[in-house]
Chains A and B, each alone.
Chain A
Amino acid sequence: MKAFKTELWKLLSLPGIRMALLIGVIAPALIAALDSLAEKGEIITGVSTRLAEIGYIGLALGVQGAIVLGVLAVSSEYRTESSEADSGKQITTSLTAVPARLRYLLAKACAVAMISLVLSVAAILTTVSSTMLILGDHSPAFEPSRLIGAVCYWVLTALLAMGITLITRSGIIPLAILIINSSLVSFSFILSKVTPLAYYLPDRAGADMFMLDRYSPPLTGGLVMLAWVVVIFGAAAILFLRRDIAS
């Protein structure tokens, strides 16, 4: 519990994480608002085919806040660019304070999950209110089951970002790959044209939890994404336990 509190405090006091929280709250609302504005005419006349996705699209494409959170939670331990002492490796200090590495990792994962959970709820609040503000009576019904799916998607995305960064130890590759993959032009989208297996990649499977353009049922999608997170986290944990941290 003590380690968890410390990790939570450490994360919340990082300026980068504050930026991630800001992006996480604003980006989905902004995307949903722009999308609602673009579709407003068609929705009012009742010819829109995308009504059921309005608002949710912001939660699918605006997940960058959770990605930056997961990546920074780990990469800031390995390399703080502003600090020049000991090449800025805070991880040595962290592990001196909490030498049981698995406990340290669990505390960090719980802290990331907790912050991303709160962030996703905040994002849902801003997204739903911006959509309702623009569409008024015409806004789609926001079903709790789909919103819970979106919360799970955000938390699992943050954990996935954290797991990949634990393996690479640098934030650049995971940040680039995950942000590209959360966009309209994702790698999974291109791969899905060649093989249906691409629908089981974490981002596609995760989006099945709340988007209607789905390949598998929400629960299966969620379980597939969870399986990805468990496998990547397991590999990251094994590496983290065996690696020489100072190297």
Chain B
Amino acid sequence: MMINSCRKIMKPLCAEVYKLLTLPSVWITLAGTFLLNVVLCTVIASSALNGAAGTPDILSFSFASMGYVQAGFVILGILAVCSEYAGGQIRTTLIAMPWRCFQLSAKLLALSIITIPAACMIASASILCSWIWMRDTSAAIAISTLAKSLAGATGYLTFTTLLSAAVGGLFKRMIPALAVLIGYYFVVSPLTDRLLPGLVPFLPVTAGYYMYMPSSSDSLHVLTPLQGTGVTALWTLIFIAAAVVVYRRRDA
């Protein structure tokens, strides 16, 4: 009985992981994001070296590129879900796996399995790249702070991917989902920073900032990393729940 239910879970999960791994666009997106990250880290670190006085904090500079790199993970999330709808693959998927709620959960789990190592690798590359540029001038960082920030960055990028996948599921099509998400992440969110500072800690993108940025005494730093994780996870869960409800009721 136990073996049976284990197989019941593992089979669709393996199928989803395999499906994602064989999508060329997933690999292209991840490789593009990695390269973009390295270039941006180099640009940010070299511009910081030109203008900085004293001992710059490596972690703040390494994660400054995170704001841009998240675009790659937004695309990854949308691709994973919306590629099912291009060419009607969704019907084949649902014939093989008719329990929609279970199928979407397996897909999101498979997406996390791929995203977590990729996000960890990209965040580590950011830190390494900034360290190479700033090793002579920067202050030393404690290993525990480094590990916490790395875990926070990985978690943030994974939540971003899952949230984007959920929004992709709601829209079914890539272009509208991408326009809405990139528009929110890059246009609306920086504007709310300036115009509605009171709401900032509780919005999806800005709450995630507290997950990986090293805490400072600055008055805007109102959430702890754990609280930031909680708010981001809550937003992700709300969108996933909405996506599951819509997916179950909609004509595929």
Which residues in A have some Cβ–Cβ distance to B below 8 Å? Answer: 16, 19, 23, 27, 31, 34-35, 37-38, 61, 64, 68, 71-72, 75, 79, 81-82, 84, 87-88, 171-172, 175-176, 179-180, 182-185, 187, 190-191, 193-194
Cross-chain contact A176 with B178 (CB below 8 angstroms): yes
Question: Are B179 and A175 touching (Cβ within 8 A)?
Answer: yes
Nearest residue in B to A181 (C-beta to C-beta)? B186
Contact B178 A180, beta carbon cutoff 8 Å: no
**A residues in contact with B174, CB < 8 Å:** 81, 171-172
Instruction: Provide the bound-state CA to CA distance between A81 and B82, in Å.
Output: 9
Output the residue of B176, B178, B182 with the most chain A CB within 10 A. Answer: B182
A75 CA / B176 CA spacing, docked (Å): 12
B68 at the interface (CB under 8 A from A): yes
Specify the main secondary structure of chain A where it touches its partner. Answer: helix
- Cα distance, A5 to B32, chains bound together (Å): 39
For the complex, what is the distance from the CA of A84 to the CA of B87, rounded to whole Å? 5
User: In the bound complex, do residue B87 and residue A176 qualify as a contact, i.e. CB atoms below 8 Å apart?
Assistant: no
B119: Cβ under 8 A from any A Cβ? no
- Are B176 and A179 touching (Cβ within 8 A)? no
Q: Give bound CA distance, A94 to B176, whole Å.
A: 23
Could you say which residues of chain A place their CB within 8 Å of the CB of B43?
Answer: 190-191, 193-194
Residue of A nearest to B193 (CB): A184
Residues on A with C-beta less than 8 A from B79 are 172
The answer to whether the Cβ of B191 comes within 8 Å of any Cβ in the partner chain is yes
Rounded to whole angstroms, the CA-CA distance of A164 and B194 in the bound complex is 31
Q: How far is the CA of A175 from the CA of B219 in the complex (A)?
A: 35
Q: Across the interface, do B47 and A179 meet the contact criterion of CB distance under 8 Å? A: no
Contact B68 A16 (CB under 8 A): no
**Known interface pairs A180-B71, A194-B46, A194-B47; A175-B187 also in contact (CB < 8 Å):** no
- B91's closest neighbor in chain A, by CB? A84
Q: Are B75 and A82 in contact (CB under 8 A)?
A: no
Contact A64 B40, CB 8 Å, known A84-B88, A172-B178, A190-B47:
no
**Chain B residues with CB below 8 A from A23, complex form:** 179, 183
How distant is the Cα of A27 from the Cα of B187 in the complex, in angstroms? 10
Asked if B230 is an interface residue, CB under 8 A from chain A, the answer is no
Closest chain A CB from B197 CB (angstroms): 10
Residue of B nearest to A37 (CB): B195
Hey, which chain A residues are within 8 Å of B196, CB to CB? 34
- Contact assessment for B186 and A180 in the assembled complex, using a CB-CB cutoff below 8 Å: yes
| Inter-chain contact B191/A175, CB cutoff 8 Å | no
Flag if B191 contacts A87 (CB, 8 Å). no
Instruction: Fill in one digit per residue for B36-75: 1 if any A CB lies within 8 Å of its CB, else 0.
Output: 0000100110110011000000000000000110010011
Point out the residues of chain B lying under 8 angstroms from A64, CB to CB. 179, 183, 187
Contact B190 A185 (CB under 8 A): yes
The reply to whether B40 and A75 form a contact with Cβ atoms under 8 Å apart is no
Q: Which residues of B contact A38 (CB under 8 A)?
A: 194-195
